[in-house]
C-alpha cells in the first residue's frame, strides 16, 4: 500500500451511508446494543460516512428472534440468519437497500462479536453477531462491520486501529484504505 493509504484523517467524498438491519435474539438479556451502535456511528462520522439503522437503534419487539436462552452454537449460525430473514428480508422492500444484518445475541465462540463470512462459513452475504458483553472500548460493532466489508477475518497489527483484535488501547483509528474498502461493501450506498 502507498503511504497515503494509511492516512487516519481521510474523509470519504460524497454521501455514503452504512445500512444496517438490527435484530435481537431472546438469549440477549442485557441490552448493551446502544453503546456499540453509538461508537460505530462516531467512528464512521469522523470519515464522512453516515449510518442508517432499520428498524430502530433501540430494542425493537418486531425484530426479536426466538432462540431460547442458550448460546447459539456455530452449526446454528445460518439457521439464526434464516430466522432474521423471515423477520425482515431487505430484498423485498420497496427501497431495495441491502442492509448488513446485525444480530445481538449470545453465541458459542471466543470474542465479543463474530462476523459470519460468505463462502467460508455460509452461503449468506456476511452478517454479524454481537454479544451483550462488550469490550471496554465499545468498538465491537464497528470492528465487525469492518470484517463484513472486507469479507475476511483479518486483524490489523496496529493496536489503536479499529480492526485490531484487542480493545486496549482504545481502537479509534480507521485509515484511508479501510474507509475505501468499506465504501465498496454491499451494505453501503
User: Where do the domains of the chain lie, and which CATH numbers do they carry?
Assistant: 11-183 (3.40.390.10)
**22, 60 contact by CB (below 8 A):** yes
* pLDDT, tens digit, 9 for 90 and up, residues 86-139: 999 877 777 889 999 999 999 999 889 999 999 877 889 999 999 999 999 999
| pLDDT for residue 48 | 97
Which cell numbers hold the place of 65? 428472534
DSSP state of 149: H
| Average pLDDT, rounded, for the chain | 94
* pLDDT, tens digit, 9 for 90 and up, residues 136-154: 999 999 999 999 999 999 9
Does the structure show a pLDDT above 90 at 188?
yes
d(CA 4, CA 24): 39
Confidence band, pLDDT 50/70/90 cuts, at residue 32: very high
Site of grid cell 433501540? 58
The total number of residues shown for the chain amounts to: 189
Which cell numbers hold the place of 43? 467512528
Burial of 95: CB neighbours in 10 Å, binned 0-12, 13-18, 19+ = exposed
d(CA 110, CA 176): 29
Q: What is the pTM of this model?
A: 0.95
* pLDDT, tens digit, 9 for 90 and up, residues 50-96: 999 999 999 999 999 999 999 999 999 999 999 999 999 877 777 88
Amino acid at each position: 500500500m502507498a503511504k497515503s493509504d494509511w492516512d487516519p484523517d481521510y474523509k470519504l467524498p460524497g454521501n455514503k451511508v452504512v445500512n444496517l438491519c438490527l435484530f435481537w435474539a431472546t438469549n440477549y438479556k442485557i441490552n448493551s446494543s446502544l453503546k456499540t451502535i453509538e461508537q460505530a456511528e462516531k467512528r464512521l462520522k469522523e470519515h464522512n460516512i453516515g449510518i442508517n439503522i432499520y428498524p430502530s437503534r433501540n430494542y425493537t419487539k418486531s425484530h426479536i428472534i426466538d432462540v431460547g436462552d442458550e448460546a447459539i452454537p456455530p452449526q446454528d449460525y445460518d439457521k439464526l440468519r434464516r430466522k432474521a430473514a423471515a423477520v425482515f428480508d431487505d430484498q423485498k422492500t420497496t427501497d431495495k437497500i441491502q442492509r448488513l444484518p446485525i444480530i445481538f445475541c449470545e453465541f458459542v465462540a471466543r470474542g465479543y462479536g463474530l462476523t459470519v463470512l460468505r463462502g467460508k462459513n455460509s452461503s449468506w452475504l456476511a452478517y454479524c453477531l454481537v454479544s451483550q458483553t462488550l469490550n471496554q472500548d465499545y468498538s465491537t460493532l464497528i470492528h465487525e462491520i469492518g470484517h463484513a466489508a472486507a469479507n475476511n477475518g483479518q486483524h490489523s497489527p496496529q493496536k489503536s486501529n479499529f480492526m485490531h483484535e484487542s480493545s486496549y488501547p482504545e481502537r479509534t483509528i480507521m485509515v484511508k484504505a479501510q474507509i475505501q474498502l468499506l465504501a465498496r461493501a454491499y451494505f453501503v450506498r
